[in-house]
Copies of this chain bind each other. A is one copy, B any other.
Amino acid sequence: MPELRKDPIIGRWVIIATERAKRPDQFSSKTHEGPPENSCPFCEGNESQTPPEIYAVRPGNTPANKPGWQLRVVPSIAPFLGIEGDLDRHGKGLYDLMNGIGAHEIVIESNKHIDDMADLSEEQIAMVMSCYIDRMKDLEKDERFKYVLVFKNHGWTAGGGRVKHSRSQLIATPVNLKRVKEELVGARFYYNYHERCVFCDLIKQELESKDRVILDIDGFIAIAPFAARFPFEVWVLPKKHSCDFTRLDQGMRLDLGKVMKKVLMKLKKGLNDPPYNYILHTAPFRREKVGYWKSIDYDYHWHIEILPRLTRMAGFEWGTGFYICSLPPENAAKFLREVEV
């Protein structure tokens, strides 16, 4: 069972892996190993190479764990957190820890061996978004979980695996993540003063100035954020206020598929298939039960942050959360606007 430990000074939770822990001497090796490219456990026909599926889109009602699917969700074979057991939060002197309860699922985004989400169809990407929503709604039923982190690692330097088959990950956690909390608190702070959503204001200002707008279609806006941390960082936001990604209706899911396809294609074509991550930022579970989060419906606004990884992170960026972005976001937006897709 992995362990969740809290930094006693700043309150940051960390997962200390035990299941996937390596021996100390394994870290000194500088070679990487992985399965050969010709054996992909995520391709149609190789269902037996993954754990049994949790969820699948099977238009022909084919049996589980057999061919005939368009999208599958399976548990991670090396989960960061374990699904079995009760939460056991306790202290150890001044330290706080918890057994590592959680869920860790892999969304296999296509039955074909396609590497980048940019190369999936708009409809297929919309299906991935719908899958996130279905899985999040299902995981919310588990009272132990406070949040589901949805993210993608594309390319080796972005933390992607050796097998080049487009997929994303869901991690359900029994704690609220520091960065999520910071965003909620920041948005609340702004709302308390202005009685307006900071994201809505930001969208309005961006649409007026246009300098940082990459796309403005179908109810969504893609921008290079004003205080970008990374060159070509892109945020995708619904123009209409909503704190909760899982409330997206079918029409908006299709529109989101279209926008994500365009943004990812622009990055791929303009920047020569860069490694990237994206992370979904949405409201936490059971917020109506937590007094402090009750007004999230008004003050928070879900969005997706796409972070291309084209530059190395310097030491102080890791250690301080203080970033240097070597490209003004206005220049990045102009460049991406002009990439034809």
Contacts and interface: CB of A to CB of B under 8 A. Distances in A.
Contacts of A312: 156-159
Interface residues of A, number: 95
Interface in A286-338: 305, 307, 310-329, 331-332, 334-335
Contacts of A332: 24
Contact of A16 (B10, B18, B23, B328): B328
Contacts of A80: 324
A47 to B, nearest CB: 26
A297 to B, nearest CB: 17
A198 interface: yes
Interface of A: 3, 5-18, 20-25, 27-30, 80, 93-95, 149, 151-153, 156-159, 169, 171, 173, 177-180, 182-183, 186-187, 190, 198-199, 201-202, 205, 209, 225-229, 231-232, 270-272, 274, 277-279, 305, 307, 310-329, 331-332, 334-335
Contacts of A9: 183, 186-187, 190, 198-199
Contacts of A315: 151-153, 158-159, 277-279, 307
A271 B320 contact: no
Contacts of A270: 24, 28
B271 A7 contact: no
A228 B324 contact: no
Of listed A23, A198, A227, A279, residue having the most chain B CB within 10 A: A227
Contact of A227 (B12, B20, B157, B158): B12
Nearest to A336: B24
Nearest to A205: B93
A149 B94 contact: no
A319 B159 contact: no
Given A270-B28, A324-B17, A10 B182 contact: yes
A171 B10 contact: no
A169 to B, nearest CB: 8
A322 B95 contact: no
Nearest to A25: B335
Given A23-B331, A95-B227, 5 more contacts: A8-B190, A9-B190, A28-B270, A30-B272, A321-B321
